[in-house]
Copies of this chain bind each other. A is one copy, B any other.
């Protein structure tokens, strides 16, 4: 951004948004092979990438702000976002824009709320907004250089996801309607970051009782006729809400 643009956007933010508070969105998508996260690259910001983020309008509920920000910055719409943590250490955002006056919006201390979402990779077509020069899926195990603490925000979101995978079924938002057992296993491995034993995985996932075996097979793959599954929505929902005690 040009100096004039930055000063104007500072003025506009002071008028319309809650100061010192920001939102950053960690959107995970699975492309059948690896887990990816949706990132932006700002214009004129060298090689540094950022999470889709922004500010909360004075008259806007926090959750609405997260959805609006994600849509504006990446094109991703109708995404179910959840706050997963807050990042409020000192000096995580201040100390940039040092050449500007101290009352510049962007120079302030910001406490950021981390939101995250799991989405079907195919359902999002990244759109580049006015202040970015790129917007795309990047694999979580090959993250580029990122601004501020954004890399550790992603790691924290991933830790949350890994914790949830211990006791909740996942996959409903990350896989296509129909999938094979190896594809589901590959998703779990991509989230956990290590290989799983095939037999153990099969037994464990069947215990959840969330899969429907379909009466058809995938054609034309390298493997011979793999069986297709889909999620049993009711049982999946039940498993999400159930207490095992």
Residues 61-108 of A contacting B (Cβ, < 8 Å)? 61-63, 65, 83, 85-90
User: A224 at the A/B interface (Cβ < 8 Å)?
Assistant: no
Which B residues are CB-close (under 8 A) to A111?
18, 21, 56, 62, 113
Which B residues are CB-close (under 8 A) to A18?
19-20, 109, 111
The residue from B58, B109, B113, B165 contacting A245, defined by CB atoms under 8 A apart: B165
Which B residues are CB-close (under 8 A) to A167?
163, 166-167
Asked if A188 and B20 sit within 8 Å, CB to CB, the answer is no
The answer to whether A88 and B109 touch (CB under 8 A), given A18-B20, A244-B166, A245-B204, is no
A125 → chain B closest CB, angstroms: 29
User: A219 at the A/B interface (Cβ < 8 Å)?
Assistant: no
User: A228 at the A/B interface (Cβ < 8 Å)?
Assistant: no
- The interface size of chain A toward B, counting residues with CB under 8 Å, comes to 35
Cα A162 to Cα B244 with chains together (Å) = 11
A203 → chain B closest CB, angstroms: 12
Q: Enumerate 20 A-B pairs (CB-CB under 8 Å) in ascending A order.
A: A18-B20, A19-B19, A19-B20, A20-B20, A20-B21, A56-B88, A58-B109, A61-B89, A63-B88, A63-B89, A83-B85, A83-B86, A162-B243, A166-B167, A166-B243, A167-B167, A192-B243, A192-B245, A196-B245, A204-B245
